[in-house]
Structure 1
Amino acid sequence: MRTSRFFLLLVVFLCGMTSMAIEMTASRLIGTFFGSPLPIWAILIGMVMIYLSLGYTLGGRLADRRPHASFLYGLVGVAAVATGLIPPLSRPLLGWAQEGLANVAAGLYIGALVGVLVLLSIPMVLLGCVSPFAIRLEMMAVDRAGRTSGSIYALSTVGSILGTLLPSFVTIPLWGVSLTFYAFSLLLLLVPLIGVPRWTTRLVFLLFLVGIGALALLFLSGLWRGWREPPPGTVLVDERESVYNYIQVYRDGDRIYLALNEGLAVHSYYSLTYGRTGNPFDLLSYGPWDIFLIAPYFAPDVPEGSFSSMCLIGSAAGTIPKQYGAVYGDRVQIDGVELDPEIVEVGRRYFRMGDEEARGVLRVYVQDGRYFLSTVPRRYDIVAVDAYRQPYIPFHLTTEEFFAQVRAHLKPNGVCAINVGHVVGDDRLVDAIAATMRRVFPSVYVIDLPGHTVTNSIVVATVRESSLADLDRNTARLEHPVLRHVVGYVRGHTRLWSGEGIVFTDDRAPVEHVVDQMILNYVQAR
């Protein structure tokens, strides 16, 4: 059995499956801290192709020197061990990435990315050795060379197809990134245990299997969890992985926070104090969410609460709907669009999002925001966009075509508002978004929030031509104390935009390039 043709072909299939599974799982691992824009995907795929190419070359040479199946199975065992070590060795590297992103330190950030890519080199190179090695072992006659090599590569490719699908639809959603690496590592470790004849070698790999199995059990036990700790002084309430995000919910006193992926930005929060008192002031964040409460008043002649509908793209765990429900009551119906169903479930469980759904204030749709707009006929008073995968905005939610789609779904006196994160003092992304919106809307405004290194600006556009005088007239008539309070602390930070910037289109929207340049310029200026 150990040297049979069937077992050899099974190994080819398993290694093809595992090589692609490592790539898919690594994309999630890297995407958690580095995002998943086009440049990151290009780097990952390019490095994997380099590693596999090296493996093909090395495998052919090793097969000619030592054409023994047991030697090949030993190489597979080493690849299995290297795969199982990716989660624990990645942990400090990803900590550097988080620190680099928090402090806008390009050296730490890039160094961490390089480190993670290097971790992938050993398993990918060794798995690349398998197909040419198997062809050499299977080669019985020259006149069958083409058929033999074609069959081997076809079998490996079929395995790769399964390796693409399993992590994406099964193992990562159910187990997460770490356990996915451990599972494929343990699976490959069976190869040398079965295929290597020397008992001493098998014993070594058995010890590795026990060790990696122990790491997996330690992870399952909760004694060692996740890729990052919650902020100091907080209590971790929930932690999970979805198809799209690494999710943490943590508590700081009476406030519940939602953090995603690298954990540097808060994506939703809820005040337990509000749950007891019902006081809307307890929901104020003094950040970008509050500004959406006054976005409708940028349009001409808008009395308090005279609007009735909002589409919120990127509703997360429901902070904005919670604030709207607290301030405006049941007068505003919100269609919340969220891509990640796990975030919606977290919102209902920990952030009382179900309260707004039960009152009829909120309807949640689990789908992409742009797809949602293309499939619903409704028109809204407000379309708000708060969709982020730090530090990038999804490019398809920033283009001229997208904002044209938004305008088509707005009522005659409607407004569009989008949250834009950027480095303090560098408005290139804000200017690009504003310039793009200006192609579609007659009046565009920017509200700049104060910050030290990274901050947010809310860009607001109106369907009808408007001015800051309209905002002043509308807000002067406001009676709700929360609205008056929000107006008070954004007064002086609001401007009518009249600058220049890149216009993003579906064909060309270099969001990642603009963000990367902002970070690079900040580092160079320090």
Structure 2
Amino acid sequence: MRPEFDPELTRLPQLAEARAAWQRQLLLPLAFTGGLASLGIEFAAARLLAPFFGQSLFIWGTLIGLILIYLTIGYYAGGRLADRRPDPTLLFRLTAAAALWTAAIPIASRPILSVAQTGFAQISVGLVLGSLISVIVLFAVPVVLLGMVSPFVIRLRIRHLETAGNAAGAVYALSTLGSILGTFVPVFWLIPTFGTRWTIFILAFLLGVISAAGLYHAGAGRLYLLIPLAIAALGLLSGGAIRAAAYGIRVYETESAYNYIQVIRTGTETQLLLDEGTAVHSIYDPTTLYTHGYWDDVLLAPDFGSGRVPGRVALVGLAGGTVARQFTAIDGPIPIDGVELDPKIVDVGRRYFDMTEPNLHVTVADGRYWMASQAGRYDVILIDAYRQPYIPFYLTTREFFESAKAHLAPDGVLAINVGRTPTDHRLVDALSGTLNAVFPRVFVIDSSQRFTNSVIYATASPTTVDGFRARAQAETNPKLQPIVAEALAAGNVRQVPPNGIVFTDDLAPVERLIDQIILSYIRTSR
């Protein structure tokens, strides 16, 4: 009797060989996608944290350092695992897990970041730091898994020792190319176009697609095709606000290339909040001209200079145009140049803050570049450029103030809005000290009615505190008189002498100083 053979058994080696060949073809694309996803996740992580923790040098430093630690762990673990189990199916399962975990980050991070917002409201350093650490740890799993890809792919591609260098070089080249695209594509296209959460979902989806393709041909049928479908479903079901309003009613929110932007309404007042929302950047109230904040005090700048209505004004850090609207309402349609880095903030100002003055010329540019290349000559220049809670360091230095001085009329005034706490004036001292290195006279008015800010005025005009008071008290414009009365009564108007502090382009530790002020405030407020 002749033995019978099952024809299916003869096909198994052929199928296994075909699957192995298919998986080998996907190894280099997987290395490319892994590099793209790892860098894209890093930028998305920074943007995810920004509405709650800001975008300071220290947040970026912490994030980049931890991402590198995660990748280091992944490189080491991936190399060891690949030597023990050089199985491409295992590799594709690892990247599938990374894709699913990445897709879960926007959803899992929401309740944690809400706790962070509560921590800010309660001035609880434990809640804030705990939330920050928790969110960053969320990124550990996918980044470690993605770090395992390159050594694993190298191990699988090495057939002969003589071609090991070529195999490793091809993997590193494609992985690095993916990382390059992972830097540019999210920053210049995905995040500004689709937002942070959808950027994370898109990266997870791409990683899920290639993982599912590798596993589909590993004999698991159509089950693995559910991976990218599950990621797409998570993206579609994860709608809703980026961040709830801490107070008032949220009217609008969006993300730009520079900021998380939120517009809220409280009573008759509309306010502009950026990033973590701990400060108000613009105010619009159709029922009153006055803000009872530093914006009002800026309007007193001419009294430290010529004492006349300014002929031309520059506002570096226009935001929603509060000061432009006030200058126009009080002094008439004087030419005003407004400089704002973020075009979406300009759109928000026009849409929600009535920033429609025909005498306002808006330029979308970096303030320092604009000052050096486009600025004219002004009677008043206001510097009010914050990436909350920080002032860009290059707008706090002697070199920048020298550039601004060159664009002032002989009796012009440079005014700077400076944040502080009720008892800590260290940032005011640092900037007034730096201004004293450029201008012969520097003055300060504290705004203490609603917000803890100070306005520093620097001028070459031969002004004194008594001279300012005399001009202010003689003010005949009825719209300015309430501001004068408030400043003279509660503003602690004073001239500040040099104090030995001078920030330069080479050394301007403004972020460290502000962090020290914040931590000191938290400690004394508990």
Report the RMSD for the aligned CA atoms in angstroms.
Answer: 1.9
**1:321-347 CA deviation, whole Å, 9 max, x = no partner?**
1111111111x2111000001111111
Can you list the C-alpha shifts for 1:142-188, whole angstroms capped at 9, x where unaligned? 11111111110111000111111111011100110011011111121
Alignment partner, residue 328 of structure 1: 331
Pick one of 362, 365, 370 that aligns with 2:363.
Answer: 365
TM-score by length of 1: 0.91
3-state secondary structure, aligned to 1:381: strand
Question: What are the within-5 Å matches in structure 2 for residues 217-232 of structure 1?
Answer: 217-220=236-239, 224-226=240-242, 228-232=243-247
Which one-letter code corresponds to 2:395 in the other structure? L
Question: Is 1:340–2:356 an aligned residue pair?
Answer: no
Equivalent residues of 1:219, 1:225 under 8 A apart = no
Matching residue's letter, 2:161: V
CA distance in 2, matches of 1:466, 1:199: 84
Given that 1:311 and 1:335 are in contact with CA atoms closer than 8 Å, whether structure 2 keeps it comes out as yes
Do residues 11 (structure 1) and 40 (structure 2) align? no
2:290 aligned residue (284, 289, 294): 284
Pair 1:251–1:377, CA change in 2 (3 A): closer
- Please state how far the C-alpha of 1:312 moved relative to its aligned partner: 0.5
Match of 1:95 among 100, 107, 114: 114
Question: Highest CA radius of gyration, 1 or 2?
Answer: 2
Does the CA-based 8 Å contact 2:247-2:266 persist in structure 1?
Answer: no
The one of 273, 291, 300 aligned to 1:294: 300
CA distance in 2, matches of 1:266, 1:233: 13
What is the SS of the residue equivalent to 1:423? coil
Give the corresponding residue for 1:174.
Answer: 193
- Aligned mates of 2:163, 2:269 — CA distance in 1: 69
Aligned amino acid, residue 522 of structure 1 = Y
Q: Deviations over 1:27-55 (max 9, x none)?
A: 22223332223222221111111100100
Report what 2:12 is aligned to.
none
Alpha-carbon separation, structure 1, partners of 2:506 and 2:102:
38
Distance 1:169 1:325 in 2: 36
Q: How many residues are aligned here?
A: 503
Distance 2:41 2:227 in 1: 19
Structure 2 length-normalised TM: 0.91
Q: What corresponds to 2:387 in structure 1?
A: 389
Task: Tell me if the contact between 1:424 and 1:451 (Cα under 8 Å) persists in the aligned partners.
Answer: no
Q: How far did 1:269 drift?
A: 2.2
1:160 equivalent among 179, 182, 187: 179
Q: 363-372 vs 496-505, which deviates more?
A: 496-505
Give the percent of matched residue pairs that are identical in Structure 1 and Structure 2. Answer: 47
Match status 1:237 vs 2:251: yes
Counterpart residue identity of residue 307, structure 2: V
**Whole-angstrom distance in 1 between the partners of 2:323 and 2:439:** 24
User: After the TM superposition, which residues 470-485 of structure 1 pair with which residues of structure 2 at under 5 Å, given as runs?
Assistant: 470-485=467-482
Structure 1 residue 451: deviation in Å? 6.6
Residues 478 and 484 of structure 1 are in contact (CA less than 8 Å); yes or no, is this contact kept in structure 2? yes
Tell me which residue corresponds to 2:321: 318
The alpha carbon displacement at 1:97 in A equals 3.2
Cα separation, partners in 2 of 1:230 and 1:51, compared to 1, 3 Å: same
Aligned residue among 409, 412, 417 for 2:410: 412
What do the CA deviations read for 1:67-125 (whole angstroms, capped 9, x no partner)? Answer: 11111011001111111111122223323333444444332222222112111100100
Q: Distance in 2 between matches of 1:52 and 1:287?
A: 47
Residue 505 of structure 2 is aligned to residue 506 of structure 1: yes
State the partner residue of 1:444.
Answer: 442
Deviates more, 1:497-506 or 1:46-55: 497-506
What is the CA distance between 1:208 and its match in structure 2? Answer: 5.0
SS in 2 for 1:353: coil
1:399 Cα offset (Å): 0.6
> What displacement does 1:2 show?
5.3
Determine the C-alpha separation between the residues in 2 that align with 1:32 and 1:123.
22
Q: Give 1:203-222 correspondences, 5 Å limit.
A: 203=223, 206-207=225-226, 209-220=228-239
* Bigger Cα displacement from structure 2, 379-388 vs 26-35: 26-35
Amino acid at match of 1:471: F
Mark the runs of 5 or more structure 2 residues left unpaired by the alignment: 1-17
Change (3 A) 1:349 1:515: same
Residue matched to 2:466: 469
In the alignment, structure 1 segments of 5+ residues that lack a partner are 274-281
2:6 corresponds to which residue? none
CA distance in structure 2 between the aligned counterparts of 1:428 and 1:161, rounded to whole angstroms: 41
Contact 2:98–2:146 (CA under 8 A) maintained in structure 1: yes
CA–CA distance in 1 between the matches of 2:261 and 2:114? 16
Any conservation in 2 of the 1:102–1:264 contact (CA below 8 Å)?
no
Q: Distance in 2 between matches of 1:108 and 1:2?
A: 50
Q: 1:118 aligns with which of 128, 132, 137?
A: 137
In the alignment, the residues of structure 2 paired with residue 244 and residue 59 of structure 1 have an alpha-carbon distance, to the nearest angstrom, of: 36
Q: Superposition pairs for residues 259-270 of structure 1, below 5 Å?
A: 259-270=273-284
| Distance in 1, Cα, partners of 2:514 & 2:433 | 16
Which residues in structure 2 correspond to 1:59-98 (within 5 Å)? 59-98=78-117
The one-letter amino acid paired with 2:463 is S
Could you tell me which amino acid in structure 2 is paired with residue 345 of structure 1?
A: D
Alignment partner for residue 257 of structure 1, among 265, 271, 274?
A: 271
Q: Deviations over 1:445-474 (max 9, x none)?
A: 11112279x721111111223211121121
1:353 matched to 2:352? The reply is no
Counterparts in 2 of 1:422 and 1:232: CA distance versus 1, 3 Å: closer
Q: What is the SS of the residue equivalent to 2:453?
A: strand
Cα distance, 1:384–1:89 mapped onto 2, change above 3 Å:
same
Alpha carbons 1:259, 1:266 under 8 Å: kept? yes
Q: Partner of 1:276 in structure 2?
A: none
Please tell me whether the aligned partners of residues 93 and 116 of structure 1 are also in contact (alpha carbons under 8 angstroms): yes
Structure 1, 340-349 or 471-480: larger mean CA deviation: 471-480
User: Residue type matched to 1:519 in 2?
Assistant: I
